[in-house]
Amino acid sequence: MDDQYGAIKDDFLIRIVIPETFPEDIPTVYELGDRFPKTMDYHTYPDASLCLGSKLSLKKRIKKTPTLEGFIHSCVVPYFYAIALYLQGKERFVFGELSHGLVGIIQDYMGVFGLSTIEQAIKLLEIFSLKSNQGNKKECPCGCNRIVTKCSFHKKIVEYRDVMTRKEYEEERELISLAFDIWKKDFIEKKKRKAIPLA
């Protein structure tokens, strides 16, 4: 499973809830044997379901092999492999981990697409939320000052364009944009307070 740690043997009792809309929607997975605490440190949600990865990465893996067996192999097994090593006191989440919540979503887009700013991620999500003929005419989020179709970054956009629906990309764009606007407003207010001495 991993070049450094190789094959390991462990047993976990799990429950997989498969939505009728699979593979369009992601199954929910639970660990039933109480082998580890259901806390954020172990990447679980408040309802005790497991956080197997970002929505983008999970859908990308499912799209590659859109079967239950493919989902288990590409999404479930890596999580429990990492958990088993973690329980043995070895490296924490050997395949990497994202921050929780919105910060993790932003990290994922910036990492997958090699972006350096949140503004670039928002521009990218706007492109994904549009029809391809509209999105391709937008300025490329990589910062080259060219439209999408005139940049090599276009290949990456094509690769991920159908991983999620335009509506899903738009929902993530709205969440990130709102959080970023709030952060900018707070940042400006803090700068103003520092600039204006108290009476």
pLDDT band at 199 (very low <50, low <70, confident <90, very high): very low
Instruction: Please give the Cα distance from 85 to 50 (Å, whole number).
Output: 17
What is the arithmetic mean of pLDDT over 23-46?
94
pLDDT for 37 beyond 50? yes
Mean pLDDT computed over every residue of the chain = 89
For residue 28, the SS3 value is strand
Residues 6+ apart with CB under 8 A from 28: 16, 17, 19, 49
Q: How many CB atoms lie within 10 A of CB 21?
A: 8
The residue that leads in pLDDT, 2 or 99, is 99
Write down the pTM of the prediction. Answer: 0.83
Residues 6+ apart with CB under 8 A from 171: none
Query: Residue 142 has what pLDDT?
Result: 92
Residues 6+ apart with CB under 8 A from 195: none
Percent residues over pLDDT 90 in the chain? 73
Query: Residue 183 has what pLDDT?
Result: 78
pLDDT, one tens digit per residue, over 59-103 is: 999 999 999 999 999 999 999 999 999 898 887 777 777 777 888
Percent residues over pLDDT 70 in the chain? 91
